[in-house]
Structure 1
């Protein structure tokens, strides 16, 4: 067996931590509006929370099952990876805390002040004391841990006040025990002072009154704490009974997640080992798994607080307002199906509005010529217009088939709810495959016009979610192309037959043909390079971890193929290494919007092949999910996507280059290009041009009507003269 070469790859988890560090750079950037900077810290926190729950949780499971399992990028065992993760995380906490304190200082200049109780003046202190006893104290359930009160289950990511309490026993000997005050999630996250933008966090308020809660004890130590638990449930190792309802099975799985093993312990402000080790031992954690933060553990309050600020101040301290624009490719006064009969349509979220796709769905739901609608759903909005129009279609006796993925992590409950709602309305619900998550984004509408049945297909790189469509950069491709329509029909047939390995003429579909198809396309470029022909590959994705594709890309580099990559998150290949990856250039963009589109281009000039996809080149996507990569053959749309790629590749403001150590570095500014701002401005310009065109057309119609009315009036007068 050939020995694996680790010289040009880096560990997935450590690469991810570098990405989250990149998010912190946005919080540190003085050109980013102040409230957006604290929002980036909130994003950093939630990213890190999920990373520990899922990735560290998964590695922890591996340490229990298979100690010899090694990472195919570095040769490290699961335990070695965890040790490296813990080691790399501590500096991130310190960096985050410094940035947070700096932002707090800047916010004070705008009278946005987060207080501790101790620094309040007498008037505010009196108000907060009254507030505590009237609104908070009645909801608290303090606990002591002793012989008669065993250690309770600490809920994942819930905040607690942790105390060491001193008391005198019957022999008047001083003893210590632990105390916990769970902070109820029904309480507001913060309390604003009347008539101001100053506030106190709920945990800081309860912390201040700890001594008043444990009145029979001396509080020797107190801090705010939270435990992070493993949330990575391996569904393959959790058998489902053949007769069990799948939704019921998933509901039970969600309950199980809440009680999985601890993986991280956080303390706010203070971690005095003498006192905190008791809690650490109860949770079975090592010292390396304990983290001290000077930033509030939970920054979920940030979004709500920003909404409450006065409009003028909020506008001053956040990104300039931007509304997703109308697409110049779509005439709102003409049937979308008629337009698709004439041309393909590409939407670019969030620069162009998702409303166009919703209009497509709405028209399909109400068009008497539409026979059926089929769609895959992975993550949808809490209040979803997509669901609304699918229900509307059912009311209008359309045949509606929905594959809804109940295992979309952290969206399971929402998806279960919508699955039940749709099924009750008469929808055919599919739940996908036992071994594969369905992550593809595809919708197909079957319509019969003048006796001819025709397919209208939509392929996307992102979810059918109105909320994320305003925040995530994604493509939505609409077409009446017959070959793509046939593949879409075949795809849904295979879903309904639980066949993940169907045959398609145009689509590359995981788990059957996506990886092999991509490798084959890379091989074509390798062959060109070896024949001294121009050879180029451009890939844009969220993350790159698939070892087989990594090795093939490295082979392409060694063969002379020019490779450009735009990777937002995890990147396991290290570029720029002599005789290994020296023909590979990798950039990543982190900005106002989340880069989410996946684009794969092979070749040069008119012969270039282009695909958009729901899939990253990650092992989970190519092996463990049902994904689609769709070819873009429409010349106009192909050119637009390639133009977009060029803009992204030249982003020297929000773009960063990955160097030969696998670290991010700034790009020397020459063009001063911010890709996301460029796309915003282009969308506004195209929308304004459309409005001007419509105004001119309206003026021309009005002028024509005036002329006709003038002539009509003249002839009416003549008629009167001779009558």
Structure 2
């Protein structure tokens, strides 16, 4: 940063990455206390919040823990905090979030009770309930338990990551105290429903806690508690490669196994735990007191997902979001082959508002098309039952040359990707696992065709994974084009991956780790230049996270020069917006709602001269410098306007959008407009576009009596979106 080096940058212009992420997860949790959201959806948001927190501890806290030991003096380049200082701040914020989570679940449980769905209090059972649960424990549960007393003959057992345990404190006749550990996560259905009232339930760990006294007949149980630990999961792939004389996939299989054995970084207790138990467990696990967290509600909230599925078709519809289905894009004739349609014009799909089916049809079609010579594709996260992988396998079986980059380092999807890589290889697909130290995160497909002596391409660039499941939950964009330049440059990117040399000669596509970041900085600099000359200058960005200091500093300089900057950043934002004289030309909003905002769009310039890209990359150093990423320019004016309309709609959101304040907090957007939920409105538009196209196609058949088909449809969606 050149123009503002005299300012105390550390305290005034940046937010810490980890604390900013916790603010994001707080926004997720806040969905669970929003009374406008159906009750079971609110329960699901608590489960999502808790799952997010687990991953945060396993990766980010795990990484900081390592750093606090190995490089204790190193400081974050934005906040100036050491790893130890960041951990201290994280733990303080997490304790506050746990209190909010506990309160949110208590409120939801109380409301569920009004519908007859009751999480039973084990201390308030009636005689009949007590009898059933005791007998169930003795007959069905106790024979399956494997309790272990800890003494000189029974060493402290290995505790699995995120598994639930009971710890009991036992007293012998000689008043000698020892502890015992009971695992309760393996081999049991966690939800135990009462047979005479199938909507009342307890959790397995609560059941075992209640009746575990009967296990230890020769002891007096003087204390007992529920706990679980979280282990570091930040595996280092590059370092492991130097220590193994084996292929990359075998290294990843070994590392995934080793992840389960890494050092503990957190211990959680449910309810009250005696200090003696806490001290003994911390001593055995080598954990300090600041890593101990107490919850009043269940430690593992994943049962919320199970309950959601269980009650979805049994309880009143108002307890769930109304069903919204992806619509077929009116820009696609589903009855025609996809390749000719893409040869005619660029096609843009917007998930989950529009169906992924046209893209899947493209792959299926390419697998059997005699003019298709090769298919090259990157796979980062795919569905467990993937039609996309099935199409690639079919293409290989049909004799096509198929090259697939399977990124085995996709966090927590490593095992799934290892399985798919084996199946692809067995079918004759050429599978590679990335580009050396660079993780392949791009969403890129190049289909090469030959008709006579003419070579042509179908290229697809997306913002999200090739995953049919998440395409119904994440907002993403998918561009399919026959532009020759895109196909040629896409092939260069694949050649770089296959030859272990990142592409550095693309003119249309931006390709990290070489060309993307310099070009983004160049585009920002161009807006700065125009602003300093007195011309209107604008930047509009939609990403998931902003952490790269070079880009942040350039945006600060742009703001100081008078460039109007608007950003939609769902998660981490390390830039402090609204600082007078520095970032007061920067507006940042975050949208957390029914869908996961996931698309990335970069727009540089005012509407009449703007340059627009869609991309797989966030403005994070890891994306810009340590990953293979692709951004595609949108040249078609109609598609460009369509994407801008989407962005304008999101900036108008005053239901789910929150504005980033100077102090790092977020406040609901208040813009004086009618109630606008941009996600729901995009669904409305998708329904309307699909029906309008269908009515247009069949208008010769529509008879002018009563309401038209279109008007009837409008009545239907009005009731659906009430």
Calculate the TM-score normalised by the size of structure 2. 0.94
CA-CA distance at 1:273 after TM superposition: 1.9
Indicate whether 1:40 and 2:45 are aligned: yes
User: What is the DSSP-based 3-state SS (H/G/I as helix, E as strand, rest coil) of the residue aligned with 2:9?
Assistant: coil
Aligned residue number for residue 71 of structure 1 = 76
Aligned residue number for residue 675 of structure 1 = 678
Counterpart CA distance in 1 for 2:367 and 2:656 is 41
Q: Residues 143-182 of structure 1 correspond to what in structure 2 (within 5 A)?
A: 143-168=148-173, 173-182=174-183
Aligned residue number for residue 288 of structure 2 = 286
Structure 1 residues without counterparts, runs of 5 or longer: 701-723
Indicate whether 1:690 and 2:693 are aligned: yes
CA-CA distance at 1:606 after TM superposition: 2.4
User: What is the DSSP-based 3-state SS (H/G/I as helix, E as strand, rest coil) of the residue aligned with 1:222?
Assistant: strand
Aligned residue number for residue 9 of structure 2 = 5
Indicate whether 1:94 and 2:99 are aligned: yes
Counterpart CA distance in 2 for 1:159 and 1:667 is 40
Q: Residues 608-647 of structure 1 correspond to what in structure 2 (within 5 A)?
A: 608-647=610-649
Indicate whether 1:19 and 2:24 are aligned: yes
**In 2, are the aligned partners of 1:13 and 1:85 still within 8 Å (CA)?**
yes
User: What is the DSSP-based 3-state SS (H/G/I as helix, E as strand, rest coil) of the residue aligned with 2:507?
Assistant: coil
Tell me how many residue pairs correspond in the alignment: 696
CA-CA distance at 1:243 after TM superposition: 4.5
Aligned residue number for residue 477 of structure 2 = 475
Aligned residue number for residue 266 of structure 2 = 264
Aligned residue number for residue 713 of structure 2 = none
Deviates more, 1:507-516 or 1:564-573: 507-516
**In 1, are the aligned partners of 2:44 and 2:308 still within 8 Å (CA)?**
no
Residue 226 of structure 2, aligned match among 212, 224, 227 = 224
Counterpart CA distance in 2 for 1:102 and 1:261 is 35
Residue 345 of structure 2, aligned match among 308, 328, 343 = 343
Deviates more, 1:303-312 or 1:652-661: 303-312
Q: Residues 404-419 of structure 1 correspond to what in structure 2 (within 5 A)?
A: 404-419=406-421
- Structure 1 pair 314–187 and aligned structure 2 pair: CA distance change class (3 A): farther
Indicate whether 1:135 and 2:137 are aligned: no
Counterpart CA distance in 1 for 2:487 and 2:583 is 39
**In 1, are the aligned partners of 2:270 and 2:298 still within 8 Å (CA)?**
yes
Residue 532 of structure 2, aligned match among 520, 530, 533 = 530
Deviations, residues 177-222 of structure 1 (Å, cap 9, x unaligned) = 1111011432112112225211111111111111011222111111
- Structure 1 pair 242–54 and aligned structure 2 pair: CA distance change class (3 A): closer
User: What is the DSSP-based 3-state SS (H/G/I as helix, E as strand, rest coil) of the residue aligned with 1:69?
Assistant: coil
- Structure 1 pair 271–73 and aligned structure 2 pair: CA distance change class (3 A): farther
CA-CA distance at 1:310 after TM superposition: 6.1
Indicate whether 1:109 and 2:114 are aligned: yes
Counterpart CA distance in 1 for 2:126 and 2:327 is 48
Deviations, residues 230-289 of structure 1 (Å, cap 9, x unaligned) = 100122222346751211111110111111111111001113323311111211112111
Aligned residue number for residue 387 of structure 2 = 385
Indicate whether 1:51 and 2:56 are aligned: yes
CA-CA distance at 1:64 after TM superposition: 1.6
Counterpart CA distance in 2 for 1:393 and 1:41 is 42
CA-CA distance at 1:450 after TM superposition: 4.3
Deviations, residues 494-520 of structure 1 (Å, cap 9, x unaligned) = 111011243112111111111111100
Structure 2 residues without counterparts, runs of 5 or longer: 704-722
- Structure 1 pair 456–147 and aligned structure 2 pair: CA distance change class (3 A): same
- Structure 1 pair 314–144 and aligned structure 2 pair: CA distance change class (3 A): farther
Counterpart CA distance in 2 for 1:130 and 1:384 is 44
Aligned residue number for residue 60 of structure 1 = 65
- Root mean square deviation of aligned Cα: 1.6
Residue 503 of structure 1, aligned match among 502, 505, 510 = 505
CA-CA distance at 1:227 after TM superposition: 0.3
**In 2, are the aligned partners of 1:315 and 1:321 still within 8 Å (CA)?**
no
Counterpart CA distance in 2 for 1:697 and 1:137 is 71
Q: Residues 288-303 of structure 1 correspond to what in structure 2 (within 5 A)?
A: 288-303=290-305
Counterpart CA distance in 2 for 1:501 and 1:346 is 25
- Structure 1 pair 245–552 and aligned structure 2 pair: CA distance change class (3 A): same
Counterpart CA distance in 2 for 1:678 and 1:516 is 36
Counterpart CA distance in 2 for 1:286 and 1:336 is 60
Aligned residue number for residue 315 of structure 1 = 317
Aligned residue number for residue 663 of structure 2 = 661
Counterpart CA distance in 2 for 1:674 and 1:36 is 16
Choose 1 or 2 for highest CA Rg.
Answer: 1
Aligned residue number for residue 707 of structure 2 = none
CA-CA distance at 1:365 after TM superposition: 1.0
CA-CA distance at 1:690 after TM superposition: 2.3
Deviates more, 1:122-131 or 1:81-90: 122-131
Deviates more, 1:691-700 or 1:358-367: 691-700
CA-CA distance at 1:483 after TM superposition: 1.0
Counterpart CA distance in 1 for 2:491 and 2:267 is 49
CA-CA distance at 1:135 after TM superposition: 2.4
Residue 374 of structure 1, aligned match among 371, 376, 383 = 376
Residue 127 of structure 2, aligned match among 109, 122, 130 = 122
**In 2, are the aligned partners of 1:164 and 1:178 still within 8 Å (CA)?**
yes
